[in-house]
Structure 1
Amino acid sequence: MSLHGRTALVTGGGRGIGAACARALAAAGARVAIAGRSEDALAAVAREIDAVAIRADLADRDDTDRLIACVAERVGAVDVLVNNAGVADSATLAATDDAMWDRMFEINATAVFRLCRALVPPMCARGWGRVVNIASTAGLTGFRYTAAYCASKHAVVGFTRALALDVARAGVTVNAVCPGWVDTDMTERAVATIAAKTGRTPEAARAELERASAQRRLVAPHEVAFAVAVLCDDDARGIHGQTIVVDGGGLLK
């Protein structure tokens, strides 16, 4: 895989899947910009891979607009867009208030749309581009107590498929990667929530999530990043409008 001469933007690039994607794209030769909320986490990854770090909170549309302007100023045209930033809250339907629903959609879905709206048309004009939206297996099926999260990730999958048709002849590919449970800080928070609500030990809660995979393990962030990097390669131009599941066979169960 070679991305020499290409510029990539990874949102949520300070930790977890986003940081792994940034590392993989940099290793393939891309110049990488990473965006996220934690300046310290961004700075650490930026130092490691010589990336450009931009603090941005995608729950704030003004901040998203500022990110778009800052990327143009600091790194120029974006060839590869990895929409990874996301939040995952869980609640019963009755406990899912408007604020939770709106925040989930703003970060998980609307920010994806707004970044694509700003960055994909220039890709089409140049005749080359790669968009990878990090969705979730929750964008392909349903899980209990995650109505807002599942709905937002289904929105990402639907948007990915529609946009792929829009740009099919422009030299730009658009795909979604759908991870299952990944060994990240977000999953650790889920483990803590399960333990607190059920009285189980954190070890038992983590084991329950591992059993969701046919391989009986959590996926590593770099495994998701590998799929992302492959989709960004020149030779992946025939992979378009797809949802690539990286979940250790969880959806097969």
Structure 2
Amino acid sequence: MSKAENNQLRLNVLTSISQKLIKFCYFLTVLLVVACGDRTTEKKTAEVNTEDVSEQTETETSGTKTILCFGDSITAGYGLNDTDDAYPGVLQRKIDTLGLDYTVVNSGVSGETTAGGKARIDWVLNQDIDIFILELGANDGLRGVNLVETTMNLQAIIDRVKSESPKTKIILAGMQLPPNMGEEYTSDFKQVFMNLAEKNEIEFIPFILEDVGGIAELNQKDGIHPTEEGHELVANTVWKTLKPLVTP
């Protein structure tokens, strides 16, 4: 092969390679454009779907009023197989039976003290609340917490609810202690709730464990937390105060 033929062959090879490279680059560019377009479309679709869900949620919940039960293990339903059997769940079933447009929210935390409730109240108030049931203080009493501190914490919670949601109706659930805590302390402890209810002019349940506290068959083995049957009675006690606020 002559030198001229050899040069021509090299030129043909290079030209072929260049053409293939150009086609590959073009294909890669198109692929990237399509891929980016798909991601953009997916993003837009996700945004639209999110907006749709948000609007749907607002539509579904806008007409529903909220009853929030803010408390400790009594509210949380400690020891029950199903927390829906705790008194907030029983209240919901009573409300549903009457066809009332209320949703009961269980915001109970086992072991919660009034100090713990005070610490988390701002987070809870991020939602609209029509009726606020405050059930805290038992763990303070069982630990012998200074009653001045308990009173101040409960007052702080009430103040926050009134400040952030002035139209919210507050129900304070009173608590009593077993006699082994000392006569003076148990008497003063009981009075804390009565004084707060009177001072703040709010609805009051004198003793949320009425007809349940101290009755062995209505409490679990620890003698403190109600059984399912016990929670039915607790719900009945709460309902006496709650019913006039939710029924026409």
- TM-score normalised by L of structure 1: 0.49
Equivalent residue for 1:31? 103
Residue 156 (str. 1) matches residue 193 (str. 2): yes
Question: Aligned-pair distance for 1:81?
Answer: 1.0
- Mapping for residues 64-143 of structure 1, pairs under 5 Å: 64-73=117-126, 76-87=127-138, 100-102=144-146, 106=149, 109-124=151-166, 128-136=167-175
Equivalent residue for 1:7? 66
| Residues in 2 aligned to 1:65 and 1:90: alpha-carbon distance in whole angstroms | 16
1:218-242, Cα deviation, whole Å (9 max, x unpaired): 992222132132143265xxxxxxx
Residue 229 (str. 1) matches residue 237 (str. 2): no
| Residues in 2 aligned to 1:119 and 1:226: alpha-carbon distance in whole angstroms | 21
1:55-87, Cα deviation, whole Å (9 max, x unpaired): x8334x3x43442232134xx122211111231
| Residues in 1 aligned to 2:140 and 2:196: alpha-carbon distance in whole angstroms | 21
Which is bigger in relative contact order (C-alpha 8 A, separation at least 6)? Answer: 1
| Residues in 1 aligned to 2:89 and 2:169: alpha-carbon distance in whole angstroms | 14
Cα 1:192/1:80, change in 2 over 3 Å: closer
**Equivalent residue of 1:100, what SS?**
coil
**Does the Cα contact within 8 Å between 2:112 and 2:136 map onto a contact in 1?**
no
Where does structure 2 lack aligned partners over 5 or more consecutive residues?
A: 1-62, 79-84, 225-230
**Does the Cα contact within 8 Å between 1:89 and 1:149 map onto a contact in 2?**
no
| Residues in 2 aligned to 1:133 and 1:58: alpha-carbon distance in whole angstroms | 15
Where does structure 1 lack aligned partners over 5 or more consecutive residues?
A: 39-55, 92-98, 165-173, 194-217, 236-253
One-letter amino acid of the structure 1 residue matched with residue 125 of structure 2: A
Residue 175 (str. 1) matches residue 203 (str. 2): yes
Equivalent residue for 1:196? none
Equivalent residue for 1:58? 113
| Residues in 2 aligned to 1:133 and 1:186: alpha-carbon distance in whole angstroms | 23
| Residues in 1 aligned to 2:244 and 2:149: alpha-carbon distance in whole angstroms | 25
Higher-Rg structure is: 2
One-letter amino acid of the structure 2 residue matched with residue 11 of structure 1: F
Cα 1:155/1:31, change in 2 over 3 Å: same
**Equivalent residue of 2:138, what SS?**
coil
**Higher helix content, 1 or 2:** 2
**Does the Cα contact within 8 Å between 2:90 and 2:232 map onto a contact in 1?**
no
Percent identity, aligned pairs only, is 9
One-letter amino acid of the structure 2 residue matched with residue 134 of structure 1: A
